Amino acid sequence: MKPQTALATLVGALALLYGALGQVILGLSQNDLQQPLLHHHNKGPHYEVLTHYFKQDDPTTDDATFDVSQDFGLYPNTTWTELVAELQALNAQHPHRKYKLLFLQRHGEGWHNVAPADYPSDQWACYWQVLNGNSTVEWYDAELTPSGVQQLTSFQQAWASRVASDGVPIPQSYYVSPLRRTLQTWEILWSKLATTRPVIKELARETYGIGTESKRHNKEYLQRNYGFADFEAGFSQFDDRWVPDRHESSQHRKYRAQQLLNDIFLHDPSVVVSVVSHSGLIKSVLKVVHHRKWGLQTGQMVPVVVEARYNKKGDTYDLDKPWSEYRSCETS
């Protein structure tokens, strides 16, 4: 047996053993391990994007060529000051609705974004992604590449310029995924501009499971290396969501994005909010608020104005759909 095949077999066996031990030690069934982060089915309000503020809401705007560093997208018939004032007025006028401006920021380029290009796609899926890295780079809880740092340094300059010249509002609250690349992203973008500390939230993390890029470090490590951030209440010491043998379903991720919005809209009075997250989670947030499809390259951001209607039920997501399972190279 080739060494690579043997190691792949060992990795697969360990993945199954890990899952089995988790069930025995914690008394969990297989269904328990793919339950949502919040163990209830409260859908919360209905969310809808208000489409008359930003060019990114227009179906004719090309997301592949739109450069947010040059144009944040606000239509010229409204100033940023007027936009915030309108949202404040709407919040005061409608007791059963809430309105917020969300800046949805994707992290800069990470090592997990570039590493797959070095391998055939099937070998990455069945072998390399479950490892912590190779002899050159680490993609477990991937950090930013030098290119990713440069992306964000340039975008930070764009933010500072827009704040100074156009009156773009500095967010009143920040929520960030617990993965290293998103924490690095927040620090580069906001450490010089922010007036409040970011809150690390599990709900804001990327699609998790199987690939080690989606596995986070423990709380003690995060405290030691990212002391500028606060933890949400109940944040666990160890990553109790990532599992090596199953990958979160898109339905569950949309449910999780909905719960993130429920939490922010219910508990945070801020009108202007930043969420620093990942392409998958942001894609799901846009689905939940019924925004048009908008692809984000690494280091990019999309602004959205969201209405939460508490007199209308939110969408329902099918949590019974199975999560995809890890397939070793021998079974692929």
Mean pLDDT of the chain: 91
Q: Can you tell me the distance from the alpha carbon of 328 to that of 244, in angstroms, rounded to the nearest whole number?
A: 12
Residue 133 gets the label, from left (phi > 0), alpha (psi -120 to 50) or beta, of left
Whether 296 and 96 have beta carbons less than 8 Å apart is answered as no
What is the pLDDT, as a whole number, of residue 58? Answer: 98
What is the pLDDT, as a whole number, of residue 19? Answer: 46
Active site residue 213: no
What is the pLDDT, as a whole number, of residue 109? Answer: 99
What is the pLDDT, as a whole number, of residue 236? Answer: 98
What is the pLDDT, as a whole number, of residue 330? Answer: 78
Q: Which residues of 57-77 are buried (b: 16+ CB within 10 A; e: fewer)?
A: beeeeeeeebebbeebbbeee
pLDDT in tens, 144-174: 999 999 999 999 999 999 999 999 999 999 9
Mean of the pLDDT values across residues 9-28? 44
Mean of the pLDDT values across residues 294-299? 98
pLDDT band for 16, please (50, 70, 90 cuts).
very low
Map residue 288 onto helix, strand or coil: helix
Q: Minimum mean pLDDT among 11-20, 43-52, 231-240, 250-259: which range?
A: 11-20
Q: Is the pLDDT of residue 181 over 50?
A: yes
pLDDT in tens, 30-86: 444 444 444 444 579 999 999 999 999 999 999 999 999 999 999 999 999 999 999
Quick one: angle between helices 146-166 and 180-190, nearest 10? 40
Q: Can you tell me the distance from the alpha carbon of 1 to that of 4, in angstroms, rounded to the nearest whole number?
A: 8
Of 206, 213, 248, 307, catalytic? 206
pTM of the prediction?
Answer: 0.89
What is the pLDDT, as a whole number, of residue 332? Answer: 56
pLDDT in tens, 127-142: 999 999 999 999 999 9
HEC sequence for 70-83: CCCCECCCCCHHHH
- 189-139-252-270 Cα dihedral, nearest 10 degrees: -10
Which amino acid appears at position 59 of this protein? P
Mean of the pLDDT values across residues 186-206? 98
Strands 97-106 and 173-176: unpaired
Active site residue 206: yes
Strands 272-277 and 173-176: parallel
Mean of the pLDDT values across residues 180-193? 98
What is the pLDDT, as a whole number, of residue 42? Answer: 55
Domains along the sequence of the chain with CATH: 3-325 (3.40.50.1240)
Q: Is the pLDDT of residue 14 over 80?
A: no
Strands 246-247 and 272-277: unpaired
| Token couple for 7 | 């190691």
Whether 100 and 88 have beta carbons less than 8 Å apart is answered as no
* Residues in contact with 250: Cβ distance below 8 Å, sequence separation at least 6, in sequence order: 207, 284
The residue with tokens 């508990």 is 267
Nearest in space to 34 (alpha carbons), one of 241, 212, 327, 216 = 241
Of 107, 112, 217, 252, catalytic? 107
